[in-house]
Every structure is written in C-alpha cells, then in structure tokens.
Structure 1
Amino acid sequence: MQSQWFLSRSIIGFLLMISSRVNASGNNVVCYFINSNGYSLAPPETLDANLCTHINYAFAEIDEEGFLTYQNEKLDIDAGMYYRVTNLTAKNPSLKVLLSIESFSANLFPSVAADANKRKNFVTSSKEFIETYNFHGLDIDWEKPTANDSDNFVALLRELRTEFDQASPKWLLSAAVYPNPDAGYNVPEITKYLDMFNIMTYNYFGPWSPYTGQNAPLFESSIDSNFERTNLNVAASIKNWINAGATQHKMNAGLAFYGRAFTLANAEIHGLHANITGPGTTATPTYRQICSSYNEWTRVWDQEQKNPYKYLGDQWVGYDDEMSITEKVKYAMSQDLAGVMVWHIGGDDLNGECGEKQGLLKLVNDVIDNY
C-alpha cells in the first residue's frame, strides 16, 4: 500500500479538499454499496462518507407489474439499511444517495418498459421509495437492453425524467451501462434524460474467455485481436461511448475493486493469453483479499495495459491495485469525464489489513484532488 500519498495531508486540509470537491463538476466518485455487506463487512456507520460524492444502494427489484420491491425486506427495512445509508448525509451533507434497481434473475425490465401502464407503476413506486426512504434519485441497472428494447428504454427514462424534474431539488437519474454501446442503447436519446452514465468498464475477460486476460485493462495489448483492441479495454470503451453520442460530463468510468481469476491449463505458461481450463479457485477475489492473502503470488506489471496480474501454480488473477487505479483515475480526468464509479465499496481494504482503512477509495480521492 502506497500510504505515503496520504501522510503529508493534515486532517483539516483533507476534509476541506473533500468538501470543496464534492460540489465541483467533473469529480464524481460514485460508490456502489451492496446491501448484504451492511451486516458485518461494511456497516454504513463505519464508512467514511466523505470519500464518495454519490452512493448507489444495490439493489431494489421490480415485480411483474412494474412496482418496485425490496430485494431483502428483512435487511433493507427491518434492519433499517435504507435509512442507515441515506443517513450518511448527516456526516457529508453534499452526499447523494441513489437507489439502484435491478432485475437480474427474472429479467423483467423488457416487459415492464414495453407496457405504458407498467412504466407508470414503475415511475409512481420509484417516487414513493425515494420520498419514503430519503433517496436523492434512482439508478437503473438493466443488464442489458437489446435492440428490441431500445425505444422502450428511452420511454422509461423519459417518463422518469419528467416526474423527477417536478421534485425540488430535482431527483437524479443514472444508469449502469455495459462497457460498449450496442443496438440496445439509443445513446443520443438516453443522454437527454440521464444525469450520469455509470459505465461498467470491467469484466472484459473472465471464465467465458479462451485464455487469461485482464479484468479491466486500461489500454490494449499488442497481442490482442482487433476486436479486443477496439472493445476490451477502458480507453476503447470510453471512446466508443463518446463516438456513439454520449457526452463526457455525464460519463463515469468504472473502477473494479476486485479481480477475475483463472485456472491455467499449464502452470508453466502464465502470461497474458495463456490457455485456461476455467475460473480460478476463487473466481472473483476482492482487492482486500488479494492485498492481504496473495502475498506469495508472483506479481507482474503489464506496462502496455497499465494493470498488474499475479500467478501461483496453476492460479492466475488479473486485478487492480494502487498503481492501476491511479492510472485509470488520471485517464478519466484527462478525458474530461464526470468522474469515476466504484464497484463496489465492500471490496476495499475496509479494516486496514494492508495499510490505511479504505485505502483504495482514499487513493481515488487523492488522485482527483491533485490532478
């Protein structure tokens, strides 16, 4: 952990910089908070509320009629997790907390967005959730609309935007989107209605791939195929979204606080694009797990892609650490993006096992402050 970046800053100076930054444009730090992490891994009260400009509470769901539902009522409501997260604004009045909506298992977004009455139910119940639990807006995590859904996705966002603009102050509307725009995204139209795009610039390589590859490479590799060069790295995805009609000041580049691991077909061949037999023993280790438990692994810095990977025996993992996160944040700033998005806050070194508590998220802030 490169904690020397933080030692020279006084507590007062740090707080003043954070306070001024969260009100500035172009410096978003959007942090996804997974509700189940609130039990013990990341109780909201233990988090530094000044390290995020926005927290997206993951997740609520939708039913077949389009109404919002609790993902885990015992946790979200009975244990008060909604309020415990939205109450972080008492520590950071500039913080905005959004409720993120998903429908991964049932995949109900297509049918809801296609039906005017169900869209109305969605909008109405969204308003009720926001007002009841003190959220500042909604984040749509539809993974992902197809070409047949494109117009309906626009209609859903347009109707949400119309309702949200009636609030005072206006409620925020964002969406988590795939790394590269395709026919499911009418980018110029959805840009009109969204305050932010949270671009999931990670999961480029995984067990579905034919060989090892970085989870979130910043740049292309010289051994990449043409498709990989133009689609499977952060810089390419940002370029593709801009070329499709998205505006930089609404775009947040995703940062992965986890890695993707593989099992090597031959332990003696352990570079990029090495053959694999499947996922690693621990398929998606968090940054905390890697920094605290993978010290015996061999670390390699990929100078082309600006990312590290590690290997031990037949296990291989591509991940992000202090060096690669620094490179990514600087790149986002150089492209005049709105900022960055973190998936997810629970993947950080929350208890200081490798250095400073929440060290990776503090580094993100430090890089932005000093850019």
Structure 2
Amino acid sequence: MAVVYYCLCLLAVLYVADGFVYKRVCYYTNWSQYRKGAGKFFPESIDPFLCTHINYAFATMKNHKLAPFEWNDEGATGGYARVNALKKKNPKLKTLLSVGGWNFGTLKMTAMMKTRANMNLFTRTSIKFLRDRNFDGLDLDFEYPGSRGSPSTDKHKFTVLLSTLKKAFIAEAKRTGKPRLLLTAAVSAGKTTIDAGYEVKAISRYLDFINLMSYDLHGGWESKTGFNAPLYSRRSEAAWQKQLNVAWAATYWVRRGCPSRKLVIGMATYGRAFKLRNPASHGVGVRTTGAAPVGPFTGESGFYAYYEICKNFIKGNEWNVKWDNEQKVPYAHKGNVWVGYDNEYSLQLKVKWLKSKRLGGWMVWDFDLDDFTGQFCGAGKFPLIKRLNKALKGVTITTTTFK
C-alpha cells in the first residue's frame, strides 16, 4: 500500500497538458526561520510534492563567487542540506540556489560582470559550489541590471553572463556525465525595468525558464491603494497604470521575444497593505498615508502573509472583504487599514488564464507565507499552493466567498 501511495505521489508531480509539463516553482527563504511563534518556517515544513522546483533564497557573493548568506546555510545540518534532503522523499524534485534578492542590491553584480575574467571566475566556482552542495541549478535574482545603480551596460553584460554560464554548464555535464545544471532567472514585471535590463530574446535562449516577478505591482510606498498582483487592468486607470498587472507583464515579455512556454508566472502568497487617509473612503485607488502597521509574524510594514490575513482580517468577521471583478483579486479593509491580496479563487483564475496563454507554469513567492501550519485559514496546510496545483489539473471552485 505504501508503495502504491509513493508512486501516486511521484505521478502527481508532473502536470501535463498537450504534452507539456508545467513548471511549479516554489521559493524557500532562509530568513523565515527567525519569525516569531507560529510564523517560524524550516525546511522540514516543506511538502516536497507541491512543487517541481524549489529555489533556495538567498545566496550572496564574495569576491565574485557564490557564498552562503545565513550562518546556518552550510554544514550537514544546515539549510542547504535540509532542503536537498527533500529529494530523498521526492526524487523528481529539483533544487536551485538563488543568488541576489532585493536587499542584495546591484553593486556586487555589476562588479562581477565588469570583466570576462570575473564572469569566468563566477561561472567556474559556481559549478563547484552547486555540485558540492547537491543543487540542481542556479537561479539569478539580480534586481536589476540597468536599474537601481546598475549602469546601462549591464543589460548586455547580463546576456553575456548567461551565455557564459550556460556554455559552461553544458560542457561540465558532457565532461562528467552528470545531468546538466539548470539556469533560471527571476525577472521584473515593470516595463521601464524590463527595457533597461533585459535583451529578452537573447537571454531566453540561455535560460531554461524565466520566473516573472508579477507581484509588488502596488504597495505602501504609493499614495493610493492598489493591488499587489492584479490579473488585469481597470478601465479607469491611466495608460501607464494599465501596465501594472500580471497579464500585461506576461504579454510584454512574450512580445519582446520570450517563448511563452519558458515564462513562469509569479504568484504571491502575501498581500500589500496601506493606511487609508479617510477610513470612509476605502475602494481601489483611494488616498493613503503610507504602509499599514507590521503583521504579528512577518514584522514588515505593509506586508502581510496570507495566514496573517486569515488570522487577523477574515476569520474574525470584523473586516469587510470585497472582490474586484475587473482585476480579479480580493481586498479587505477595517478602520484605516486596507489590504489587497490573492486567495484561492483569484489564484485559480490566474492559472486558468496562464493555461489559456500556453505559458510555462507558476512560481510562488513563497512557501512560508502560505498557511503552512493549516491553523489560520481553515483549509488545511498550504491552501494557496494546493489550489494552484488543483487548478493546473482542471479542478475548479466557483465561489467568491473568502471567509
């Protein structure tokens, strides 16, 4: 009986449509171990059958080489080993080490890409670093070439770096007989950043797939309420605002030369929250006075994990929960706090949309922001990620009730 269950689990890893296997990419963050109480998340909290790929976030760089960021990433009982141990439960699972992130900035990236010698050093040492730690590939989360202090020349240099890495990964696999290391990147969804940072058609040749960070499209840094990851635009938006949605960003990447099957759509398991200027005015696009107060577990202003939203806003039945039928996402408000987020239904709609566009699958940021304990949302463990999986298989729900 156990053997049958194990085989069924392996089959469930591969969701196929028209002969195409969808990518299901989940990020694990090595700082989630420091959250308070029920918010603490460790590699052992991961269900290894929910995703096809796990990206370990984040590594850093020292002297143009990959380097661990957290004190306990390395070693026999460190984060790297514990995440890669999940492949013993699910041998089909692939793990990648993600380098960069928002707080990484751009200085180290620019310095490494400054010369061919530096790129070659990064490439050569990265192969050894990944192999020694049992990773299956490298994910580049450089935010962003050509922006945030990165010079315009980094746009082409990023292409050169990817070409260098891919050629070396192929050569190493031929030489050793090992499966080739995967090469992926997390990329921007904003037009200005895309134009400044990516030779889209060229980089698409070298990357195995591309993770579109189609979230953080609005947030507490703005003066009006807006959704973190709306699927579509609103009719009342200005022309530039109509670019700030998942569908527009994905379409732009494809039009610029990214093969649709290589584009993996980012899904958020968190919401962005604002303080309303006038609590009586609580719709979309109303005036705010900044980011909302910190959540009880994540501790970041204007940023709420899905389980925090369930615990504090929805299950208490004191919050007003609304559905925006134009942008296909929910929001909730109470007093002077407003939060836009994704729930099971909005994510289901996004998967239905990406399947209709023949895109490559979904990516989740991230494991530890879903209700991983199952104690807050009343829908078991990982309700959002499980809904993403069910939607790929064609299982649907029809309700827009979010409690």
* TM-score normalised over the length of structure 1: 0.92
Q: 1:85 is matched with which residue?
A: 83
Q: Distance in 1 between matches of 2:282 and 2:198?
A: 37
Q: Secondary structure at the match of 2:20?
A: coil
Amino acid at match of 1:150: K
Give the match for residue 216 of structure 1.
229
Deviations 1:94-129 (A, max 9, x none): 110000001634521112112112111211221111
Q: What residue ranges of structure 2 are gaps of 5+ in the alignment?
A: 147-151, 295-301, 396-403
Identity among equivalent positions (%) equals 38
Q: Is the 8 A contact 1:204 1:232 kept in 2?
A: yes
Offset of 1:297 from its aligned partner? 1.2
**Distance verdict in 2 for CA 1:12–1:122, change over 3 Å:** closer
Match of 1:359 in 2: 383
Q: Residue in 2 aligned with 1:176? A: 186
Query: 1:286 is matched by which residue type in structure 2?
Result: A
**CA offsets, 1:285-325, max 9 Å, x none?**
00111012212211000000000000000000000011111
Letter in 2 for 1:314: N
Structure 1: unaligned runs, 5 residues or longer? 1-9
Q: Distance in 2 between matches of 1:304 and 1:76?
A: 46
Tell me the residue number matched to 1:34.
Answer: 29
Give the CA deviation at 1:41.
2.3
Shift of 1:209: 1.9
Whole-angstrom distance in 2 between the partners of 1:93 and 1:204: 36
Q: Which amino acid aligns with 2:88?
A: A
Contact 1:26 1:337 in 2 (8 A): no
- CA–CA distance in structure 2, aligned partners of residues 261 and 100 of structure 1: 27
Q: More displaced, 75-84 or 273-282? A: 75-84
User: Who is 1:156 aligned against?
Assistant: 161
CA contact (8 A) 2:10 2:92 kept: no
Q: Distance in 2 between matches of 1:205 and 1:100?
A: 24
Match of 1:258 in 2: 270
Find the aligned partners of 2:112 and 2:361 in 1 and give their Cα distance. 31
Asked if 1:294 corresponds to 2:313, the answer is yes
- Contact 2:13/2:51, CA 8 A, preserved across alignment: no
User: 1:207 is matched with which residue?
Assistant: 220
Give the secondary-structure state (helix, strand or coil) at the position aligned to 1:83. Answer: helix
Distance 1:278 1:21, change over 3 A: same
Q: Is residue 96–residue 136 contact of structure 1 (8 Å, CA) maintained in 2?
A: yes
Question: Structure 2 matches for 1:1-371, cutoff 5 A?
Answer: 15=9, 17-21=11-15, 25-38=20-33, 41-63=40-62, 65-77=63-75, 79-102=77-100, 104-107=103-106, 108-146=108-146, 147-166=152-171, 167=173, 168-180=178-190, 181-229=194-242, 231-282=243-294, 283-295=302-314, 296-353=318-375, 354=377, 355-370=379-394
Cα distance change of structure 1 residues 134 and 78 upon mapping to structure 2, 3 Å threshold: closer
Q: Is the Cα–Cα contact under 8 Å of residues 258 and 319 in structure 1 kept in the other structure?
A: yes
Aligned to 1:183, the other structure's residue is in SS state: helix
SS, match of residue 50 in structure 1: coil
Q: Which has the higher contact order (CA 8 A, sep 6+)?
A: 1
Letter in 1 for 2:132: T
- C-alpha deviation, 1:163, in angstroms: 1.1
What is the root-mean-square deviation in Å for CA atoms of aligned residues? Answer: 2.0
Letter in 2 for 1:202: Y
**Does the C-alpha gap of structure 1 residues 344 and 22 become closer, same or farther in structure 2, counting only changes over 3 Å?**
farther
Tell me if structure 1 keeps the 8 A contact 2:14–2:52. no
Q: Distance in 1 between matches of 2:51 and 2:27?
A: 10
Provide the TM-score with structure 2 as the length reference: 0.85
